């Protein structure tokens, strides 16, 4: 089966309450076969909404976690609840977690503590970690090294970092995921990183409803818009877009441990 995967979508929030079904139908029409729905959108409740959204739905998978913006709400009882949720068979990763020193919406100490707790949780349940990192390269790499991330496996999602950060992550066995940012006019340095990365370690994502790619920039993002990010990578790698879909799709299947025989969005 040829696979095409949006590895990071936030579909549980109010942005999609009026037309979620149509958004999913457009994803199908665009050829997407699997959607990874991120639970850590906004506080704890988005995990519950995301699990309800994917439960029993062909081609839908989920992650559970708490966004670094909300790191200060993480406590022991919440981690225990998330551990139970993480054992759901359609939960394929923990996160997003990580460090965001650009917005600093939670104190940095709380962000580091929550990140370390989610690394432990990922190891416990045997699922990879989805890492959000902004303006925190050194602390991110240090924390990953200190928590045996090479054994957990993970992805730096919505990558906007330097070649050095990408190299350090790749050395830990991590994947790098590109969002619509790679299409932005100002993102020439990022495109240079994308050009150089080993292709078997690259994923694509929308991070919708945020960060719509050019030519949809400024609009609400949705999974079907991922074709513009794929086209950009195809251009950088001098491949056909169908090859980029297949490469990144197969990478995502391997990364999330999704079996070849698993149902897709088009399985009836
Ligand atoms: Zn993020
Ligand atoms: Zn996200």
**pLDDT, tens only, 154-177:** 999 999 999 999 999 999 999 999
The length of the chain, given as a count of residues:
268
User: Can you state the angle between helices 137-146 and 108-125, rounded to 10 degrees?
Assistant: 40
Model confidence at 267, in pLDDT bands (50, 70, 90)?
confident
Predicted pLDDT at 1: 65
Model confidence at 153, in pLDDT bands (50, 70, 90)?
very high
113 C-alpha to ligand 1 centroid (Å): 17
Let me know: does 160 contact 119? Beta carbons within 8 Å. no
Distance CA(40)–CA(195), nearest Å, equals: 30
40 C-alpha to ligand 1 centroid (Å): 9
- Nearest alpha carbon to residue 32 among 9, 15, 10, 16: 9
Residue 177's SS3 state is: strand
69 C-alpha to ligand 1 centroid (Å): 9
Let me know: does 226 contact 30? Beta carbons within 8 Å. yes
CA of 10, nearest ligand number: 2
10 C-alpha to ligand 2 centroid (Å): 6
Q: How many CB atoms lie within 10 A of CB 109?
A: 10
268 C-alpha to ligand 1 centroid (Å): 32
Confidence (pTM)? 0.97
Let me know: does 69 contact 107? Beta carbons within 8 Å. no
Model confidence at 268, in pLDDT bands (50, 70, 90)?
confident
The architecture CATH gives domain 5-255: Alpha-Beta Barrel (3.20)
Q: Is 163 left (phi over 0), alpha (psi -120 to 50) or beta?
A: alpha
Predicted pLDDT at 181: 98
Domain ranges of the chain: 5-255
65 C-alpha to ligand 1 centroid (Å): 12
CA of 156, nearest ligand number: 1
Pairing of strands 60-64, 175-178: unpaired
């Amino acid at each position: 089966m040829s696979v095409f995967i949006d590895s990071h979508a936030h579909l549980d929030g109010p942005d999609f309450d009026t037309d979620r079904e149509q958004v999913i139908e457009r994803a199908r029409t665009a050829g997407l076969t699997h959607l990874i729905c991120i639970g850590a959108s906004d506080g704890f409740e988005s995990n519950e909404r995301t699990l309800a959204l994917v439960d029993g739905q062909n081609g839908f998978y989920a992650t559970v976690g708490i966004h670094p913006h909300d790191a200060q709400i993480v406590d022991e009882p919440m981690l225990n609840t998330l551990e139970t949720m993480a054992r759901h068979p359609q939960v394929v990763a923990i996160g997003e977690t990580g460090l965001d020193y650009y917005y600093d919406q939670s104190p940095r100490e709380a962000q580091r503590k929550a990140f370390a707790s989610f690394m432990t949780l990922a190891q416990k349940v045997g699922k990879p970690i989805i890492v959000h990192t902004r303006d925190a390269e050194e602390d991110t790499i240090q924390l990953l090294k200190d928590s045996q991330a090479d054994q957990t496996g993970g992805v730096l999602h919505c990558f906007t970092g330097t070649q050095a950060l990408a190299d350090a992550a790749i050395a830990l066995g991590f994947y790098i995921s590109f969002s619509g940012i790679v299409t932005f006019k100002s993102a020439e340095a990022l495109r240079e990183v994308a050009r150089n990365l080993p292709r078997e370690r690259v994923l694509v994502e929308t991070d919708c409803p945020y960060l719509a790619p050019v030519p949809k920039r400024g609009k609400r993002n949705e999974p079907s818009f991922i074709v513009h990010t794929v086209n950009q990578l195809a251009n950088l790698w001098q491949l056909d877009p169908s090859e980029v879909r297949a490469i990144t799709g197969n990478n995502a299947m391997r990364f999330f441990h999704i079996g070849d025989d698993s149902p897709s969005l088009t399985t009836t």
